Amino acid sequence: MSLFIDTLRGKRGPRPPVWLMRQAGRYLPEYRALREKSSMLEMVMTPELACEVTLQPLRRFPLDAAIIFADILTPLIGMGSRLEFKKGEGPVIENPVRSAADVAKLRLPAPAENVQYTLDAIRLVVGELGEKTPLIGFSGAPFTLSCYLIEGQSPGDLERTKAMMVADPAAWHALQEKLVTLCVEYLVAQAEAGCRSLQVFDSWLGHLGPREYERFVEPYLVKVFHEVRKRADVPVVFFATGVTGLFPQLARLDAHAFGVDWRVSLPQALRLLGREVPLQGNLDPQILAGPWEYVERAAREVLAEGASVPAHVFNLGHGVLPHTPPENVQRLVDLVHRRSA
Ligand code: CP3
């Protein structure tokens, strides 16, 4: 039994479970030490290293879930993308997708071939964690993956992505179909390898208005949730940022829970979603990086708001930032653990 899994299934426990997006990463000195010797991709593609990095935050903090160390972009490599994580620039794809012909060239290898390294890392982590702490698997959503594939770098204002959407809808829709398959197969394979929950990241969705969302994105996202829920019996969380204006539409997804960023309060998010559903979030990561006195106040406010929604998983509104003091993470996790509802 797990507090985290129960909460995602709508069952409120004695306190909210807590984990943090990007809980493994550069804010931890032990991560930076490993990172000095290997690139980000080498770390993801070496199951022993990916396992070690996944467990690093769990050794320090009594977190209620682990998340596999990988990236939403690594499955694109097997599709034919030349992906690199460049210092200071973030991810770069040297051969972006710009035409229907580029879309047609994208391959769809099975997960066992494409992301064997992540599936192996999952089995290692699950072996180490045992029953006590569930492991989360994840995928980028088709829209956010499209943004990186088409722009070829940090998506910015999505100029080329939106241009393809409206000027070459046939190419757009063909790309979405392929990415739905990638995303579904990747998520199901992670559940089969031992992940007890799945999260879909749609980090760039907040750049769309509701009408383009409904026309160009929603049918595919609906399909992702529909297919994954048919094939994997684990709770699935949907996360995006800057999507307060899309909550009424997002509520139609067959997700077990929704991740909420810090731009909206938890009760307000629930009202906009318009249905009784567990929420995950939503402390501002920038606040967590600041003075503890204010972190404490803000965290208590998130806890109080979380007590008024059907079920609450404590998390940040986005990932832990590299300049966050590990001490603040320690104190935050302790604060949530001391809380009993
Ligand atoms: O601990 C965890 O959360 C698990 C691992 C994880 C990473 N990326 C590792 C990573 C997860 C869940 C992600 C998701 C991810 N990756 C998203 C969705 C969530 C979000 O942040 O919106 C996106 C958009 C990406 C794409 C990505 N990967 C970017 C833009 C960057 C560069 C910017 C940055 O934060 O460094 C990455 C690199 C990356 N992915 C790092 C880590 C730990 C940093 C690697 C390093 O330089 O050491």
Query: Which residues partner with 91 through β-bridges?
Result: 85
Tell me the three state secondary structure of residue 289: coil
Annotated active-site residue in 9, 12, 26, 98: 26
pLDDT-based confidence at 339, cuts 50/70/90? confident
293 to 131, 232, 299, 324: CA distances (angstroms): 35, 42, 10, 14
Annotation marks residue 71 as catalytic: yes
Looking at the CA of residue 26, tell me the nearest atom of ligand 1. Answer: 48
Tokens coding 246:
């899309």
Phi/psi at 135 (nearest 5 deg)? -105, 135
- The helix/strand count (H/E) of the chain reads as 18, 9
Q: What CATH fold (topology level) applies to the domain 3-338? A: TIM Barrel (3.20.20)
322 Cα–ligand 1 center, Å: 11
Whether 203 lines ligand 1, by a CB cut-off of 6 Å, is: yes
Give the pair of three-digit tokens for residue 329: 């993470």
Average pLDDT, the chain: 97
Q: Which of 43, 58, 71, 144 to mutate to test the pocket of ligand 1 (most atoms within 8 A of CB)?
A: 71
| Direct distance between the N- and C-terminal alpha carbons of the chain, in angstroms, rounded to an integer | 19
Place of tokens 């229907």: 100
- The per-residue pLDDT for range 194-235, each reduced to its tens digit, is 999 999 999 999 999 999 999 999 999 999 999 999 999 999
d(CA 6, CA 158): 38
* Residues contacting 196, CB < 8 A, separation 6+: 2, 5, 134, 135, 136, 234
What type of residue sits at position 166? V
* Residue 87 confidence class, pLDDT cut points 50, 70, 90: confident
- Known catalytic residue at 12: no
d(CA 90, CA 33): 19
pTM over 0.95: yes
Cα(341) to centroid(ligand 1), Å: 33
* Contact residues for 290 (Cβ-Cβ < 8 A; gap 6+): none
Q: Is the CB of 242 inside a 6 Å radius of any atom of ligand 1?
A: no
Q: Cβ(20) to ligand 1 under 6 A?
A: no
91-148 pLDDT per residue, tens: 999 999 999 999 999 999 999 999 999 999 999 999 999 999 999 999 999 999 999 9
Q: Is 49 in the pocket of ligand 1 (CB under 6 A)?
A: no
Instruction: Decide if 186 contacts 227 (C-beta within 8 A).
Output: no
User: How far, in Å, CA of 4 to CA of 336, rounded?
Assistant: 13
C-alpha of residue 295 to centroid of ligand 1, in Å: 23
**pLDDT(190) > 90:** yes
pLDDT digits (tens, 9 = 90+) for 56-80: 999 999 999 999 999 999 999 999 9
Whether 61 and 70 have beta carbons less than 8 Å apart is answered as no
Distance CA(317)–CA(320), nearest Å, equals: 9
pLDDT of residue 297: 98
Comparing CA positions, the residue from 289, 276, 5, 14 lying closest to residue 136 is: 5
Residue 319 in contact with ligand 1 by CB distance below 6 A: yes
Query: Distance between CA 130 and CA 78 in Å, rounded?
Result: 30
Known catalytic residue at 215: no
Question: In the numeric block, which tokens belong to residue 113?
Answer: 């071939």
- The one-letter code for the residue type at 222 is V
Out of 20, 22, 190, 316, mutate this one to test ligand 1's pocket (max ligand atoms within 8 Å of CB): namely 22
Cis ω for the linkage preceding 282 (within 30 of 0): yes
Q: Would the CB of 259 count as within 6 Å of ligand 1? A: no
Please choose, from the candidates 3, 1, 4, the residue with its C-alpha nearest in 3D space to the C-alpha of residue 197: 4
Q: Where are the domains of the chain?
A: 3-338
Q: Measured from the CB, is residue 138 less than 6 Å from ligand 1?
A: yes
